[in-house]
Structure 1
Amino acid sequence: MTRLLLCFVALCFLTAPAAAQIGNLGKLADKAQGVLSGNTPLSQEEVGTALKQALDQGVGQAVTKLSAEDGYLQSPYKILLPPEAQSIISRVSALPGFGNVEQDLTTRINRAAELAAREAGPIFVDAIKGLTFQDALNLLMGENDAATRYLESNTSLALTGKFQPVIRTALDEVNATEIWRNVVTAYNKIPLVKKTEPELDVYVTDRALAGMFGLIEVKETELRQNPALRNTELLRKVFARQDK
């Protein structure tokens, strides 16, 4: 088992720069050997289950937080209007009926993100279920954001495809799309300005997902660095190995 594990570790680093391979390979090999050996060896099932529990915990907390009212709006992940919208807002805010449009629109796009965040859980759950033992072992021994980056690389396309329609519908539900269209229409009527049609749903989807992964990363780092947050015996047992 140990020999097979070390072969896997070596393959993971074949594409790394030559100067970095030797040092990184040695460190990772030592960690890999320690995980499945030592005074209290860990089984493949224990490693895989613990990483899934850790991801479930981080994802669950992130989804719960961001899907609540003000989850995005009153957090570090607040979604601001796109940069190209600033010039539009600055021009139309002086027009009758548009004085508070920036604050109003910002609130509404964050409300849309909060509604959409409720739909993210099942997508993440499917990705976590697909975690293999080799994935889990590599993530356990990785950087503080290793599991988050794994999720991001394996779910971003699917999340965007499923998230954007929810965002679009949510924007409609909070009337953000209508307000934005009114703003753009008013802007395009101003003489000598370049006509524009920014896609609000695409932008909000991108920023909502960035915020989601940002919070998951925070939760992962906390779990790795603070043993008190490991709320199951298995998490405590497995993650104690990466503390060494």
Structure 2
Amino acid sequence: MKKILLLSVTTLLLFSFSHAQLKRLFKKDSTGKTGVDRIIQKVPNKNSGGLTNDEVISGLKEALEVGTKRGTEKLSAVDGFFKDAVIKILMPPEAQKVEKTLRNVGMGKQVDNAILSMNRAAEDAAKSAAPIFINAIKQMSIQDAFGILKGGDFAATNYLKQKTTASLTEAFRPVIESSLKKVNATKYWNTVFTTYNKFSSEKVNTDLLAYVTEKAMAGIFYQVGQEEQKIRKDPVARTTDILKKVFAN
């Protein structure tokens, strides 16, 4: 109601403004906001529990920064992927029957090395995710913020997924490729499937780089989603005053 009243008064006042004054009022500043935007933004929004737009967007940005920082730090550590049962990268579904066969003929160590190498590559790639997430967070609009606040349990994570998937793929691929070479993953992979292909009429030709990149990104978004859940549902995870204020409403 306050916002409607303010807009009505603003509209009436516009008739008394000169052309120059109107031009200044609707001119955008360096952040892309007009004078009208700045006036409206200071009015508490009834639908967000009395929070101003500035408070909502600050709280959501901080929540995303906290969640992505925690998530990427956890996954970029040694064994961040490898010892997490949910996101550990295993053989692709089409290669799992190959894995079983190879283990049965005494090549379990080579298979284990291939799996470890994939997870180490994902852990290395996770280190490059934070700045990409931060860039997307900085670009969040007021509309984005309220959409996240009123959205589902994973609204913030879905926002990041929409905004960063292309950039993450571009950043992850060279890191994963380099990491796979560094730990000889390609060698292990080639050894495993070259040997298998000698004994099988069904040849396996899996794109290791694409597979690990896809699984690494899935793991990152899964972990960020878990951190979002903590902030939304667990008061203890709201470590700052603005987080407590925004998510208490």
Instruction: Give the TM-score normalised by the residue count of structure 2.
Output: 0.77
1:230 paired with 2:238, answer: yes
**1:98-144: CA deviations, max 9, x gaps?**
33222221111111111111111111111111111111011112111
Distance 1:99 1:78, change over 3 A: closer
- Aligned partner of 1:78 in structure 2 is 88
- Aligned partner of 1:24 in structure 2 is none
CA distance in 1, matches of 2:126, 2:108: 30
- Determine helix, strand or coil for the equivalent of 1:74: coil
- Aligned partner of 1:51 in structure 2 is 60
Shift of 1:226: 1.3
Distance 1:92 1:229, change over 3 A: closer
Asked if the contact 2:154/2:229 (under 8 Å) is kept, the reply is: yes
1:34 to 44, 47, 50: 47
Alignment of structure 1 residues 165-176 onto 2, 5 Å: 165-176=174-185
Alignment of structure 1 residues 98-177 onto 2, 5 Å: 98-177=107-186
CA distance in 1, matches of 2:176, 2:185: 11
CA distance in 1, matches of 2:241, 2:132: 27
Any gaps of 5 or more consecutive residues in structure 2?
A: 6-44
CA distance in 2, matches of 1:99, 1:53: 45
Return structure 1 stretches of 4+ with deviation > 2 angstroms. 1-4, 87-96, 187-190
Alignment of structure 1 residues 151-230 onto 2, 5 Å: 151-190=160-199, 193-230=201-238
Amino-acid identity (%)? 41
CA distance in 1, matches of 2:159, 2:248: 21
2:75 to 66, 71, 77: 66
Count of matched residue positions in the alignment of Structure 1 and Structure 2? 208
- The higher radius of gyration belongs to 2
CA distance in 1, matches of 2:213, 2:178: 12
Amino acid at match of 2:112: Q
Amino acid at match of 1:66: L
Any gaps of 5 or more consecutive residues in structure 1?
A: 5-31
- Aligned partner of 2:97 in structure 1 is 87
- Determine helix, strand or coil for the equivalent of 1:100: helix
- Determine helix, strand or coil for the equivalent of 2:248: helix
- Determine helix, strand or coil for the equivalent of 1:231: coil
Amino acid at match of 1:212: I
Shift of 1:235: 1.1
- Determine helix, strand or coil for the equivalent of 2:91: coil
- Which segment is superposed worse, 60-69 or 160-169? 160-169
**1:43-81: CA deviations, max 9, x gaps?**
222111110100000000000000001101111211111
CA distance in 2, matches of 1:77, 1:196: 23
Shift of 1:94: 5.1
Asked if the contact 2:95/2:204 (under 8 Å) is kept, the reply is: no
